[in-house]
Amino acid sequence: MPRVKFENGKQREFLNKVMLETNVPSLRSLSQYGFDVSYSSWKNYYNENRCLHQSLFENLCHIAKLNPKNFKFKLLNDYWGQVKGGKKSRK
């Protein structure tokens, strides 16, 4: 599954905008929309420790009525972490 990579600070800004538009007070409350995402994963997304799945990004844009084209991001391929690790271990 492709991942969405934002610039530093922009993923948190995106999630704040989603929470504002959906009128939810916290990250935990986003689960009421039927997302099968644990609270620790929400925290990791919010702290930018993990990149969002493309499908999650699209679903968040849909429920918040946001246009994905208004955000600057890069799509990473399915195995980008393995490629990154392989290049690092070759040295």
The predicted-structure confidence for 27-79, as pLDDT tens digits, reads as follows: 999 888 888 999 999 999 999 999 999 999 999 999 999 999 999 999 998 77
pTM: 0.84
Element (H, E) at 39: helix 39-46
Q: How far apart are CA 85 and CA 80, in angstroms?
A: 9
Between 28 and 87, whose confidence is greater? 28
What confidence score (pLDDT) does residue 32 get? 87
Question: What are the structural domains of the chain?
Answer: 3-89 (1.10.260)
What confidence score (pLDDT) does residue 59 get? 95
4 has a pLDDT exceeding 80: yes
Burial of 66 (0-12, 13-18, 19+ CB in 10 A): middle
